[in-house]
Chains A and B, each alone.
Chain A
Amino acid sequence: MKALAARRHHRFAPVVLLLLALLVTGGVYAAFAPSPASADTASTEDIETGQKLFQANCATCHGPSAEGSDTVPSLVGVGAAAVDFQVSTGRMPMQMEAPQAIEKPRQFNEEQTAQLAAYVASLGAGPAIPTDEQVDAALGDPSNGAAVFRTNCAMCHNAVGAGGALSEGKFAPALWDTSERNIYQAMQTGPQSMPVFNDMNITPDEKRDVISYLVEQREGSAGGLDLGSLGPVSEGLWVWIVGMGLLIGAAVWIGAKSS
């Protein structure tokens, strides 16, 4: 007993206590946190839970019935797809004032996101979450997808989806890590600055073709390191750093006296 008591003044004692506290908290949370359930159809229960989540996390900005305000868009009619996109990418709840909502670690898990989506969908008819078949890259035509992407998307997102600048600090994000479902949903719902590409503009098949094109780009370049796929500016930067760097180094070596 004395030995333990003597140890309480050890300089590592606070560290040990902290670790214990973290472990306990984590363990309790893990034990009590709801496990993700796979619910593919929205039940009334889902809509109710979704409403509660909405009131707690979204109503402060979007209004108690999602009616919006002068500065915040109404969510009536945006559909489950919009909610799934915004919440699963962590853009919503929006953390702070910025030129646009930024992707960040998602705050709600799959089940909660589905509940929120179910609730907002119940407020007014809007785009539904696409099925797995609708977003399956293997079923799309990357060649047609390239043509559609080039005309409608490349000017903001860059030719291969590496991202690009818009005005006043806004930007079109890189698409390397975007899920197939979210690519579809973004086209469908037109988040923030992005225009809405409804099914009459880019048909569901064409949307799948676009997904197929973007997934194809993730193979990388046939020529080697893609240097970010940013085009001639990055190529110019690298020729100076690598090319001229190595060759000036070689020149210095050639001109130097040998020992």
Chain B
Amino acid sequence: MSDNQNSTDLTKQDGHDSLDRFQDPGIPAHKSRMADRDPKAAKRAETQVVILFTISIIGTIGMLVAFFALPQNTSIAGIRTANLIIGLGLAFALLGIGLAAVHWAKTLMSDHEHVDERHGQRSSDTVRAEAVQALTEGAQDSGIARRGVLKGAVVTALALFPLAIAVPLVAEVGGDWNVSKFRHTLWKPKMRLALDPSGRPIKAEDVTIGSAFHVIPDVSEEVRTSHEWISEKAKAIVLMVRLDPRDLKEAEDRKGWSYDGIVAYSKVCTHVGCPVALYEQQTHHLLCPCHQSTFDVADGAKVVFGPAKRPLPQLPITVDDEGYLVAQSDFLEPVGPSYWERLK
């Protein structure tokens, strides 16, 4: 290891014996350009620059003319044309200037290389000493030396005051902090299953084998157009399918949750929450398009592929007197992605 590793002199090399190294041949000789040698070439280059600036001017004018001349409120094709013409006008306006400036620099501006000296970043020892002295004098002037309690008080006060701003901010930004809301959805006993987005309730006989129904709770139009609805819908969406009852494998404690082969599962993926909506009728697999978690609807919606761990929560359903499908209760576990206190 060479001592030169620690050197602040920018010119020192390290490693080999500096005698057995090639010498710097210096800056390569300047090669003249056509425009330097031949005044006609220089004139040509100048003309080219002028033409490019002119293209820019034409672009600007063209863009402004199009902007005012093109009709508004037209068809998709009309908007596309307006976008194209105005945009290209702008593009030419800009490119003309850019290409002109660069071409000018390359062909006409002096291309003789200059050399500047670098200086090491480190301040000289003298300056450093003066800096240290300035700070020391300042500290002495402040009278803080040997006043430990004073130092402690300064630090404590300064460290604490940001809390006065941060705590109210953080506290209020989180709303009511009521994370237990994750456990409950809008579904209640005897609540009808309705079509998403129209809101029409669904009869069991309408659900034929091979169907996939996108379901929301049956709520009034007023609720469905309110603002709170979207946050509730985000937990309440359900996918309902009908299988041949012979294909349906049900756990003992869930035998009463389906109705004649009709099963309903939460549509919120247990991975990170996208709607699990791709129902493959023939394999009865439910695929989530975001990260490809795949759930088997015929077997408790358990995970058969992908980054999800838990099966989709099942909504227990039955039928009311008029034949409409209804929920028996809310989901028996929180829907959607896992979180720390989920099972508590």
Contact = CB atoms under 8 A, between A and B. Distances in A.
Q: Are A and B associated in one complex?
A: yes
A253 interface: yes
B79 A222 contact: yes
Interface string A161-196: 000101110100000000000000000001011111
Interface stretch (A14-22, A53-61, A112-120, A197-205): A197-205
Interface stretch (A33-41, A90-98, A148-156, A234-242): A148-156
B248 interface: no
Contacts of A152: 212, 214
Contact of A166 (B197, B214, B278): B278
Given A195-B279, A195-B281, A196-B281, A257 B31 contact: yes
Interface string B306-337: 00000000000000000000000000000000
A200 B206 contact: yes
A161 B212 CA distance: 19
Interface residues of A, number: 33
Contact of A193 (B202, B280, B292): B280
Given A193-B282, A195-B212, A224-B84, A151 B305 contact: no
18 contacts: A151-B196, A152-B214, A155-B275, A167-B283, A167-B287, A192-B282, A193-B282, A195-B212, A196-B208, A196-B210, A200-B203, A219-B75, A219-B76, A219-B77, A254-B106, A257-B31, A258-B107, A259-B34
B303 interface: no
Which secondary structure characterizes the binding site on chain A?
loop
- Chain B at the A interface: mostly helix, strand, loop or mixed? mixed
A166 B31 CA distance: 62
B94 to A, nearest CB: 12
Contact of B280 (A167, A222, A257): A167
Contacts of B305: 167
A224 B75 CA distance: 13
A69 B31 CA distance: 83
B211 A224 contact: no
A220 interface: yes
Max chain A CB contacts within 10 Å: which of B214, B277, B278? B278
A200 B202 contact: yes
A155 B286 CA distance: 11
Nearest to A219: B76
A195 B289 contact: no
Given A166-B278, A201-B195, A155 B289 contact: yes
